[in-house]
Amino acid sequence: MKYLHCAVCTVVLALPPIPAVAKIDKLSVSPKVCVVSEQQEFCDLDLKFTISLPQAMDVCLYQQAQQLKCWQQMRSAHFEYKAHVQVETIYSLINPHTEEQIATASVAVQSTQAKTTRRRLRSPWSFF
């Protein structure tokens, strides 16, 4: 039994390592964050989208519910878009035939000014 254990360990150590499969982003956007001086301001961005799919398919890019562009039998593409956003915006890659969402990416809008409201430090029911 002791020799069997040593033999199994030797065989396992002699096997070549299993290559790690890299996760490929299907949809990426750059830049991911826009900084404005005050809250409720709009942000004008030149967004760059990179689309990389495992196989060729028909897809459409949406900003929230608005369709921006569609491609037919596309596997990879680069797309530039001038965005005018005020809040965090989600971009989706959707199959137009099945309405299946393939991938998403978001752009956040952050303010340099601190919020005027403060978070309560303790619960309202606390006696101390």
What pLDDT was estimated at residue 86? Answer: 82
Instruction: For 4-20, write each residue's pLDDT tens digit.
Output: 444 444 444 454 544 43
| The total number of structural domains that make up the chain | 1
Q: Please tell me the distance from the alpha carbon of residue 97 to that of residue 60, in angstroms, as a whole number.
A: 10
Whether residue 2 is predicted with pLDDT greater than 60 in this model: the reply is no
Task: Give the integer Cα–Cα distance in Å for 128 and 5.
Answer: 62
Please indicate, yes or no, if residue 10 is contained in any of the structural domains: no
pLDDT at residue 80 above 90?
yes
Q: pLDDT at position 8, please?
A: 43
Structure tokens at 104: 């998403």
Does residue 2 sit within a domain? Answer: no
In a domain, 75, yes or no: yes
pLDDT at position 120 is 67
Say whether pLDDT at 48 is over 80. yes
Range of the domain at 42: 23-111
Amino acid at residue number 20: A
The answer to whether position 16 is within a domain reads no
CATH number at residue 98: 2.60.40
